[in-house]
Amino acid sequence: MERRILGGTGISVSEFTLGTMMLGAWGNTDHDAAVAMVHRALDAGVNTVDTADMYSDGESEVIVGKALKGRRDDVVLATKFHNPMGPDANHRGNSRRWIVRAVEDSLRRLGTDWIDLYQIHRPDPATDIEETLAALTDLVRAGKIRAFGTSAFPAEELVEAHWTAERRGLLRPRSEQPPYSLLARGIEADVLPTARRHGMGVLTWSPLSAGWLSGRYGGPDGADPGTAHRSALLSPMYDPALPGNAAKLAAVTELRTVAADAGLTLPQLALAFVLSHPDVTSVIIGPRTPEQLADLLTAADLRLSDDVLDRIDAIVPPGTDVARDMTFYLPPALADARLRRRTAAA
């Protein structure tokens, strides 16, 4: 499996990263089976494992810690902080107060003395970015983390983080972790060029677009997100009656034809597409079962021809999202009406 350097850090990461969101209560609750799946990925050449404190309320980190016993030195370990880890308002976010607590909790659950890549899971409008960068810089200098990065940051916030680091003499984020897929290409217009300009590595997630590119939808049997296997999770993201989802289904149907003509499955096409972008360092795959892992690993080292990439561009133009539901972060300027409406004069 091909290796690439993460954002100028000198750290060599595999082109696939094992994502572990589905290990634990959110997916595979069998710890022994989950550990065996991590080992299978490592044996296949994956050397990078990504988790987060919030995944199954810390259970995912515990499983990863079990899996890495005896193999820790050979693995690039990444985790994240930011999301709530309890009802207390101070047990979340990007403040120094929470970061210094969260990292110790993650280190304990992971059973390790250091984290290779510690990532800010989401922006925090309530916390000055200097506060966050200063705390993370101190963790690097203390040896608790080797580098830090961001996740789902808009391009303008990446720029602000780098400018702040330079002006305040702080370390800068070395990576960004955005969603990216055949159906969600918006980051090509701003986030990826910004990451390139600032020398950041990019670890992308949701290459199968939350299951839309898994091969279950848009097939000859007419399967769509309204079928029984989605019934328990039926939500606006999967409601086929909504215009955005109808557009996804139409695009998936066309993409299945492109994949078949190229002699690939739709998931293989989806993974190979993400890997084809020169600014992508590693693609996070998040299997729940060993069978899913084996299927995803078949896409390692696949490369798409220009003809195939041109056909994809004709279906989903570069820099566009088929629907807006894969952003996972809404800036305050859009979320808070008070920031976009003038107050009427008294």
Distance of CA 274 to the CA centre of its chain: 12
The band of 70, judged by pLDDT with boundaries at 50, 70 and 90, is very high
CA 66 to chain centre: 22
- Lowest mean pLDDT segment, chosen from 105-114, 239-248, 304-313: 239-248
Burial class (CB in 10 A: 0-12, 13-18, 19+), 314: exposed
Over residues 144-171, mean pLDDT = 98
The model's confidence at residue 202, banded by pLDDT at 50, 70 and 90, is very high
Residue 54 has pLDDT above 70, yes or no: yes
**Coil, strand or helix: which one is 219?**
coil
CA dihedral 302, 313, 213, 226 (to 10 degrees): -170
Supply the pLDDT for residue 235. 60
Mean of pLDDT over the chain: 92
- What pLDDT sits at residue 236? 67
Q: Which of 111-115, 116-120, 185-189, 245-249 has the lowest mean pLDDT?
A: 245-249
Q: Which residues contact 21 (CB under 8 A, 6 or more apart)?
A: 27, 51, 52, 55, 60, 286
Percentage of the chain beyond pLDDT 70 is 93
Q: Is 61 helix (H, G, I), strand (E, B) or coil?
A: helix
Domain range summary for the chain, segments of one domain joined by + = 3-336
Confidence class for position 339, pLDDT limits 50, 70, 90: confident
The SS3 assignment for 202 reads strand
Instruction: Look at residue 224 and tell me whether its pLDDT is greater than 70.
Output: no
Q: What is the pLDDT of residues 8-48, one digit of tens each?
A: 999 999 999 999 999 999 999 999 999 999 999 999 999 99
Are 83 and 52 in contact by the 8 Å Cβ rule? The answer is: yes
Lookup: tokens for 340 = 């976009």
| Torsion on CA atoms 35, 36, 42, 43, rounded to nearest 10 | 160
**Residue 238: is its pLDDT beyond 70?**
yes
- Encode pLDDT of 160-200 as tens digits: 999 999 999 999 999 999 999 999 999 999 999 999 999 99
Residue 301: its pLDDT value, please? Answer: 87
For residue 238, indicate whether it is catalytic: no
Cα angle vertex 19, ends 320, 111, to 5°? 145
Residue 228 is predicted with a pLDDT of: 38
- Where residue 219 falls among pLDDT bands split at 50, 70, 90? low
Q: What is the rounded radius of gyration, in angstroms, for the C-alpha atoms of the chain?
A: 20
Fold of 3-336: TIM Barrel (3.20.20)
Choice among 55, 180, 217, 238 that is catalytic: 55
Q: Is 162 helix (H, G, I), strand (E, B) or coil?
A: helix
Residue 345 confidence class, pLDDT cut points 50, 70, 90: low
Mention every residue, 6+ apart, whose C-beta is less than 8 A from residue 41.
16, 18, 49, 293, 297
- Cβ(251)–Cβ(183) below 8 Å: yes
Query: Which 3 state secondary structure label does DSSP give 165?
Result: helix
Three-class DSSP category at 328:
coil
Tokens 């580098």 found at:
147
284: pLDDT strictly greater than 90: yes
- Looking at per-residue pLDDT, the higher value among 346 and 269 belongs to 269
pLDDT of residue 230: 44
Q: What tokens does 149 get? A: 């990065």
